[in-house]
Amino acid sequence: MAQFNIFKGALYAYSDDQLVTCMRFDSLQPLIFTVCCNATGCTNTGDLALDRCSRPFYAIYGQYKIFLNDPDPVSYPTGSPGGVTSLSATPDCGGTVAFHIEAGSNCTADLLININSPPGFQAGDVSIIKTLTAGNNDFIWNGLDGTGAPVLNGTPITITGTVSKGLTNFPMYDVENLGGIDITLVRPTGDKPPLYWVDTLIYEAYGNHNLEGCISTDTSCHRFTYGDGYTINTWWYALSQAITPINLLFQRNWSQQFTHAICQGDSIWLAGSWRKNAGTYISGGNSVLTGCDSTRTDVLTVNPRPLVDLGPDLIRCAGESVMLDAGTGSGYTYLWNTGATTQTLVIFMTATYSVTVTTPPGCSVTDSMHFTSHPVPPPGTLIIKHD
């Protein structure tokens, strides 16, 4: 079957830090399409992790110059590779991690904070992208994982990533059936740059991403057929320096408060002892793992039990009845052993009667009494003598 509208041209991008990369298309079949190159991706909001995501609509802005050939090196000179001379990460018991990077020239740090998970990007991990300037660069990670939850004290953290120059985003709008892009470093010469992409905003069915970098001898890294009406972004770094992994235990002062409620007469284990009385009990100390404070506050409430007194055992003649009263209280519930659920119960048969009274907080008391219904003697059998 014949293929039409095949575009196999090459474009040359000149980044703001004066590095040149060449982009060649494989099997591109567009009618009309738009491309550009810039430092952030589809948008430029300041949130680099979001800006570089592909979009289900037109999202193009130009920044870098694009040529049909390698631009004249006199007019467009080659930038210095530069590099990073030191990188450190210091956790703090306040729940943050301070990064310090010493850079030899302007570059970009793309860090992956792996939070107690397998290697590679997982849902709970954190990706941080920072533009660095020559000299000292300091920034803070807030200690929240990829889902927005605070990382717990003592959690193992591994920091990996790259520090790079020549960051080039290549958003393409309305590009269909792309067999891939071949990216080569032109000036200065070097290895083929890895490709990165995040297409998770396009469709769930095509929700793929690559934050580890894809390198292939052909153009198989970022292929897609779903570009009609969408902006698909791919990015790379002309020069990259891998970061030596940093392993550390996350630090955070741990302070939590718990509330408890028991019934009068019960006890609960709090702060190293059985507690019966209402009050606030504090326990903890320095964390064995990190030295940070670890404080637990338990607030205990003691709820009263109901007062229930059915009285002493009773004996009555047959045919006489007695009303038992389990007592009143706001929200009280009643359960007699007869199945009745009322506050009072009228009895006239010989039996043991019991009731359980429960307050709204769930505190219960049970009381019982024995009732004897004594038969009346037949007429003429009762003899009364008087002295």
Q: 10-19, 113-122, 205-214: which range is least confident on average?
A: 205-214
Q: For domain 84-162, say whether CATH 3.30.930.10 is its number.
A: no
The pLDDT of residue 206 is above 70: no
State residue 369's pLDDT score: 96
Comparing C-alpha atoms, which of 278, 88, 66 is closest to residue 172? 66
Taking the chain, what is the end-to-end CA distance rounded to the nearest angstrom? 135
User: pLDDT tens for residues 339-372?
Assistant: 999 999 999 999 999 999 999 999 999 999 999 9
User: Which residues of the chain form CATH 2.60.40.4070?
Assistant: 84-162
Contact 104, 82 (CB under 8 A): yes
Contact 234, 181 (CB under 8 A): yes
Two tokens at 47? Answer: 């949130």
8-state DSSP, 42: S
More confident call, 223 vs 274: 274
Mean pLDDT of 54-83: 90
Per-residue pLDDT band at 204 (split at 50, 70, 90): low
Comparing C-alpha atoms, which of 277, 314, 313, 312 is closest to residue 298? 277
State residue 382's pLDDT score: 56
Q: How far apart are CA 15 and CA 78, in angstroms?
A: 10
State residue 279's pLDDT score: 94
Two tokens at 346? Answer: 């009228």
More confident call, 295 vs 28: 295
Scan for tokens 């010469």, then name that residue.
Answer: 189
Two tokens at 36? Answer: 């550009």
The pLDDT of residue 285 is above 80: no
Residue type, 11: L
C-beta atoms surrounding 163 within 10 Å: 25
Q: Which long-range contacts (CB under 8 A, 24 or more apart) does 217-220 make?
A: 218/26, 218/180, 218/182, 219/24, 219/26, 219/179, 219/180, 219/181, 219/182, 220/180
Q: 194-208, 235-249, 323-337: which range is least confident on average?
A: 194-208
Per-residue pLDDT band at 3 (split at 50, 70, 90): low
Beta-sheet pairing, 246-249 with 156-173: antiparallel
Per-residue pLDDT band at 84 (split at 50, 70, 90): low
Cβ partners under 8 Å of residue 47, min gap 6? none
* DSSP string over 114-126: EESS-SS--TT-E
Mean pLDDT of 235-247: 85
Q: Cα–Cα distances in Å, from 333 out to 135, 269, 279?
A: 74, 29, 28
State residue 1's pLDDT score: 40
State residue 4's pLDDT score: 63
The pLDDT of residue 2 is above 70: no
Mean pLDDT of 263-290: 88
